[in-house]
Amino acid sequence: MKNYDYLISFVLGTRPEAIKIAPLILEFKKSKKVKVNIALSGQHDEMIKSVFDIFNLKEDINLNILKRSISMDQSISLILSELSIFFDNSKPDIVFVQGDTLTAFAGALAAFLKRIPVAHVEAGLRTENIDSPFPEEANRRMISQITNLHFSPTKIAFENLKKSGISHNIFISGNTVVDALNLVSKKIKKSPIVDIDIFKEKYILTTVHRRENWGDPIRNIAKGILNIVDKNKKLKFIIPMHMNPLVRFPLIDMLGNNKNILLIDPMPYLDFILVLRHSTIVLTDSGGIQEEAHTLGKPMLILRDSTERPEVLLGGNALLVGTDSKKIEMELNKLLKDSNAFKLNKKNLKTFGDGNASKFIVEKTLHFLKL
């Protein structure tokens, strides 16, 4: 005889998903009414393991798609077929997905095809350009069409869903990334973790990985970084490189011989937050880092032509610069010369919530399941 009322499945595959889903899983685990299981797709195995270790979590199944597929269509096909079996065996009452990854889309579709309710965390983000970012903009739109519970991080995301014709079970929950930041704040080390003194030296934290920036755009970004370093001899860049060779090789080729540019492997989450917290400026094409940098009050240049998080632009601490080397150089120079170029309260901002998103989502989910 089971000693719980509801089985809740979480499907995830990337490090950002793990960071944002972990606080929610922990919150559900507090309820005696709930049993949780976790299915990993295998998109980011090692990087997820380090996140799960922080939060003391372990998956129930790993589909290992990265070892078995090389294309998006293969990945989706594998996730669908494997989750079909997993759901048949476990019979969850609801399936949670987060964000806009291939794993999130395939996980939601697999649940939908089994007529299992879908809950979408971080629902309603839009650029309104189907090709930017690709394929994430399409993924999140399709997920919204088959979702039963929509948890929007902000009012703008909430209104996006309304405008698209979705009218039921939409909630403004805040973003669980803030919950994660709060949970790990006491665990963060207080000593340097890279080859510079992050407490004293001026450095720009840079991340780039998005598919639309592969090829010439990454090289243009690297060119802009080189131009900045040439004119600011004491300035450092810390660049944790994505494991994808299409990202790593151009960066190593163009930036690898410059002593002021630290090209490193992806950092553990706690280390990354420490480096982010002490950075001078953030240069990124990441969605999650936009939220984290904004919440921590960091000036930020976004290496994209559009963002599904317009809140960071409206908040006054971010600017879209795309991948044009001259624009990157120009805007970075402005920030370096004038620390007040972005008028921003340096204290933690609550644009993406107050750290209670997980509690809210658990409450609304249990109410939905009860009905």
Catalytic residue ranges = 100, 122, 136, 209, 211, 242
Torsion of the alpha carbons at 338, 342, 343 and 349, rounded to the nearest 10: -130
Give the residues across from 152 on adjacent strands: 172
Sign for the pseudo-dihedral over CA of 352, 17, 249, 213: negative
Q: Tokens standing for 9?
A: 């499945």
Choose among 257, 259, 256: nearest CA to 248. Answer: 256
Assess contact for 129 and 150: CB atoms under 8 A: no
